[in-house]
Amino acid sequence: MSNRMATSSMSCGRLAGWISAAVLLQILGLWLFVSGFFPVKPTVPGFSGPESYRMPTCEDVLVDERRDLLPDQLAKMYMDLSQIPPAFDRMILMVIDGLPAEFVLGKGGQPPEKSLMEAMPYTQFLLSERRAIAFHAKAAPPTVTMPRLKAMISGAIGGFLDVAFNFNTQAFLDDNLLDQFYQIGWNLVMFGDDTWIKLFPSLFRRYDGVNSFYVKDTVEVDFNVSRHLEVELVANDWKLMILHYLGLDHAGHIAGRHSLLMNSKLKEMDDTIRLIHTHNALNGDDDGGRTLLVVVSDHGMTERGNHGGSSFEETDSLALFADLWSESLVYASNMHNEVFQVDVAPTLALLFGVPIPKNNVGVLLIEAFNSFTDEHKLRALELNSWQLLRLLQVHLPHLLCRDLREGASSGQVVQSNEYFDNIEEKFHHLYSIAKAAHTLWKLSERDSSGRSENSTNSYNAVASYYDFLRYGSEWLSHRATDKPIKLILSGVVLLLLSSVLLFYLLLLQFKDHGTERKFGSALKNCSCVWHLDETFVSFGTFLHIFSLGASSMVEEEQYTWHFLSSTMCLILFYMTMLSFLKEQQTVSVEMKKEGKLDLHQSQITHISVAKYTARVILMKPLHTYFRIYSLLIVLICGRILRGWHQGGVNWAHLPDISKWLEQTSSSCMKAFEITSLLLVMMLSLFALSLLKSRTRYVLIASFGIVVLGFLVLLHIIENQPVNRSTSIAQIFYFNFGILVFGTFVLSPWILPLNFQEHSDSHSSALKTDGVLMGIQDSLYVVGVIYASSWCILQLLLQQPVNAIPMLLIFVQTMACIIYFSASGHHRQLVEVAAVYFLGMAGHFYLGNSNTLATIDVAGAFIGISSYSIIFPSVLMFIITFSSPILSYLSMLVCISTKDIVSLSLHERPDLSQLLNLMIAFPCLLPLVLNSAVLTTFTLILLVMRNHLFVWSVFSPKYLYVCAGTVSVYIGLYVVTVTVVYTCTVFFFRAKLLKFGKS
């Protein structure tokens, strides 16, 4: 640091430059760390071919044997090399988006609820008659559509950041089943979610895509799929038909897992399965051949209908194979009802005679091969093992350099729990046992006269192959991708430098603003008590940072913020009451001196005591009661909000107010929404009416608030017609932009300077007073408009159950500002920290958590009439971080209540000095607090990179921290620009007036 920077006073321009440098360092460090820690998962390039049907060796020389082969010739080559006759000729892949397997198969060995079984009678009939086999197919997080579709058709598990790419799907270039089918001459058709079209833009002969992100639609998205069925089922020009239904997922997003729409959507899906299964195409005919119906879901859903996280409800997807019926389940003891979603890819590849995709980590479902002979089953397992060996070779280059063909002989049985020096030996051992068991079965098939011995050898061979395949699959699935440690450490170093710089700047501002606090005269002897609020800010920050090192505290972070916000309010309440008692003592002493009350009288009647008490109360400054009542409001609202959403992960299922309200009628919910809207409007108009400079402009601003409220009211009432509701929302966005931007631009020009012209020596000071008062009035108007408009916007976007919480958060924030405006006993550090704590607590009060499943997708498409990526993403961000951003916007109201007019009593402040005084702490402190969390959690994530919960707990939280950092940047940027612009305009107007008079 330069000596110049370390002076006691730093100019506003220099401070802004250093803050900007720190923020740029932070952004660069964050980019480097994210790029290194969350790389795009590397894949093996190219497509599997004839080499898939040969045993891999240490140095395979890959020759493209498919060159110059026609599709029919390539298909015949694959069939000859695989030595497995294709079981089916055509396939219908039906994807029911968001369907939990629990709805069809039950949970924990128990059947589904009666209502769910009655909603899907034909599907239950297929399962009970053993004409279909179904599994709980566990999906890997993040549980969103695009990466889950990739997993099912390629068998590969993508990178964690695929959740971000889900909103901007690109063409899928890795090896997958659809491209393999296309290469052997299959014609593909697709109807439903247009994600398929974006993944495979040139594969489909016919298609009709629907947008998957407009979650308000639960009817048209499915009708547009089913309307093609009658024609396509009788057509014989396709080999693969994909049907992707979205209505059930949308119903969940709108009203949750137990939505009234859910049973009707399940019945609709069951009718579709009945239509497909009972059609003669599945019975086999001369033209179409035998068809397999595969019903899958990409993910499940939480109780509130969301998904994206790693809970059982979200990862519980379905995989159902219809018409895979066998009279006896030979391998019943080896069957597992719970499998992995990636297991679908190798199963379908081997059933239809195409190579398994190169990056597959799945294991074929042997239950799907019950109609096959033992020879074909073992051959399928062998091909799956060879494919997995090739993928393992990429990570373990020396694995295949051992002679795997000469592993353990049939007579050498090695214990599976034998200790191994390295992982290569473990894989070598497991594959050798499987290969030996397979060889033993072949020998017994030729020589054995006993059928039971042959069956035992077959079972042992299958079990041995499964031991190798499952172990290899799990190792590949959990193996962390190579992370460039230099890139990661560079990002960490830059984040540390940024945090240190911001903290140093905060210390300088703390010093510049003076170490003496504005205490009341009665409390000068209690300095230890008055430092309690500042001490708690520091303690609370460190407490929150240290809590992030525990996965359970990350999952239940809402408890931390509830403790910090409520305890902060209790400390302020304690200090206020102590101040009240001290002032009473002061009044008592003064009255005693004046002879108004003789405290040494031996008898004091009840009447005299009452008169004394009333006199003390009448002499008490009114602002003390404002402080007491404001804190009581904050505490009461906080307690109500705490019980609104159970929140978190582990106890989200427990009853709370929101769950109770969701069970009430829609009219009751609308009544709560309308009540919240009206109260927000009344509070906003009342706040604007308090402005001393009551000009027509303030009336116009008030009218703008009324217009926004009226549009939201129409949206609440007209929530059923989609087109009209969308138009109302679009009109709201337009008016919202006009009101907010117009207030920002026009307020400093229209509001008066609030001073009269004088010719005496004091005119300069009076003009300065007028400028400062005009700045305060302008910032007050803009701040109220920002905060109230933001709350009304949230009442439009948030779920109806969050209407009351949004109102209470608004009331909490305003009450907190009223408390500090009526108090001179706290530094600005404490004021900003208290508002920041309330904003972060409100984030969780609205039902948010550190899992991706609580992100509100439905609200992000309000007012969207056509497909878009940017606008819904912005709305999703606005909904998720509504409370923190509200706290930053409210800083303007807090700034406008400070007594800056007193500056002109001793000196005439310039623009730089004024800006430094007004926005130094409101901008620096949130940056420092957020930077501390960001840097610390980055270090925690680095340390926990091999932790069991790194992808399910710590990584989602890190995405929230990064997005929260963006919200801090946006909120503080708006505050800074508004204050700078307002002050500049008023100083410019004052200068123009001065020149005009001269």
Q: Where are the domains of the chain?
A: 40-87+372-480, 90-371, 552-915+968-997
Higher per-residue pLDDT: 652 or 273: 273
The tokens for 679 are: 């109260």
User: What's the pLDDT at 283?
Assistant: 54
| For residues 54-58, average pLDDT | 81
Collapse the DSSP code of 94 into the 3-class scheme (helix H, G, I; strand E, B; otherwise coil) and give the result: strand
Whether the pLDDT of residue 322 is over 90: the answer is no
Q: Which residues pair with 317 in a beta bridge?
A: 137
Residue 924 is inside which H or E element, if any? helix 911-943
Greater confidence (548 vs 162) lies with 548
Q: Which residue has the higher pLDDT, 286 or 90?
A: 90
Q: Fill in the DSSP letter of residue 985.
A: H
Is pLDDT above 60 for 639? Answer: yes
Round to whole Å and give the CA distance between 761 and 771.
17
User: Is residue 517 pLDDT above 50, yes or no?
Assistant: no
Distance CA 4, CA 9 (A): 9
Give the percent of the chain with pLDDT over 70: 79
Looking at 86-95, 249-258, 375-384, which range is the least confident one?
Answer: 249-258
Q: Are 783 and 896 in contact (CB under 8 A)?
A: yes
The stretches of 605-665 forming alpha helices (DSSP H) are 606-619, 622-642, 657-662
Q: Is residue 457 within 8 Å of 437, Cβ to Cβ? A: yes
Lowest mean pLDDT across 327-336, 397-406, 573-582, 923-932: 327-336
Residues 210-236 have a mean pLDDT of 82
CA 27 distance to own-chain centroid: 20
**Residue 976: predicted pLDDT:** 93
Burial 329-357 (b: 16+ CB within 10 A, else e): eebeeeeeeebbbbbbbbbbbbbbbbbbb
Element (H, E) at 208: strand 204-210
944 band by pLDDT with thresholds 50, 70 and 90: confident
> Where does the pLDDT of residue 522 fall: very low under 50, low under 70, confident under 90, or very high at 90 and above?
very low
Give the DSSP H/E element, type plus range, for residue 880: helix 870-880
Place of tokens 């400028």: 771
Residue 960 tokens, joined? 């929230």
* pLDDT above 80: residue 421: no
Alpha carbons 385 and 436: distance in angstroms, whole number: 14
At 243, is the pLDDT very low, low, confident or very high (cuts 50, 70, 90)?
A: very high
Instruction: Yes or no: say if 240 and 61 are a contact pair by the CB < 8 Å rule.
Output: no
pLDDT at 785: 95
pLDDT computed for residue 512 by the predictor? 65
Separation CA 550–CA 543 (nearest Å):
12
Residues whose CB is less than 8 angstroms from the CB of residue 987 and which lie 6 or more positions away in sequence, other chains included: 771, 911
Q: 408 vs 456, which has greater pLDDT?
A: 456
- Give whole-number Cα distances, 895 to 292, 535, 886, in Å: 68, 23, 14
In this predicted structure, what is the pLDDT of residue 363?
A: 93
> Using 50, 70 and 90 to split pLDDT, how confident is the model at 904?
very low
3-state per-residue secondary structure call for 140-166: CCCCCHHHHHHHHHHCCCCCCCHHHHC
pLDDT of res. 418: 53
pLDDT range class, residue 323, cuts 50, 70, 90: confident
292: phi then psi, degrees, rounded to nearest 5: -105, 130
Residue 397: phi and psi, rounded to 5, are -60, -25
For the segment 123-149, the average pLDDT, to the nearest whole number, is: 86
Lowest mean pLDDT among 199-213, 247-261, 441-455, 541-555: 441-455
Where are any strands of DSSP class E within 830-894? Answer: none
CATH match of 90-371 with 3.90.780.10: no
Average pLDDT value for residue range 733-751: 92
Strands 132-138 and 338-340: parallel
Can you tell me which residue has the tokens 């801090």?
A: 968
Query: Whole-prediction pTM value?
Result: 0.75
pLDDT band at 939 (very low <50, low <70, confident <90, very high): very high
Cα three-residue angle 662-213-105, rounded to 5 degrees: 60
SS3 per residue for 487-544: HHHHHHHHHHHHHHHHHHHHHHHHHHCCCCCCCCHHHCCCHHHHCHHHHHHHHHHHHH
Mean pLDDT, to the nearest integer, of 579-607? 57
C-alpha dihedral, 815 to 816 to 818 to 819, nearest 10°: 120
Stronger pLDDT, 565 or 307, i.e. the higher one? 565
The rounded radius of gyration (Å) of the Cα atoms in the chain is 35
Q: Which two tokens stand for residue 858?
A: 């439905």
Q: Is the model's pLDDT at 772 over the cut of 60?
A: yes
Examine the pLDDT at 681 and tell me if it is beyond 90.
yes
User: How far does Cα 137 stand from its chain's mean position?
Assistant: 23
Q: Report how far residue 400's alpha carbon sits from residue 392's, in angstroms, rounded to the nearest whole number.
A: 9
Segment 528-551 shows an average pLDDT of: 83
Tell whether the torsion through CA atoms of 553, 557, 560 and 562 is positive or negative: negative
Contacts of residue 927, Cβ cutoff 8 Å, sequence gap at least 6: 19, 22, 23, 502, 968, 972
Tens digit of each residue's pLDDT (9 = 90 or more) over 609-625: 444 444 444 445 556 77
Mean of pLDDT over the chain: 81
Report the candidate in 710, 773, 768, 774 with the shortest Cα–Cα distance to residue 736.
710
Residue 599 pLDDT greater than 80, yes or no: no
Distance from C-alpha of 85 to C-alpha of 371, rounded to nearest angstrom: 12
Q: Per-residue confidence at 584, pLDDT binned at 50, 70, 90?
A: low
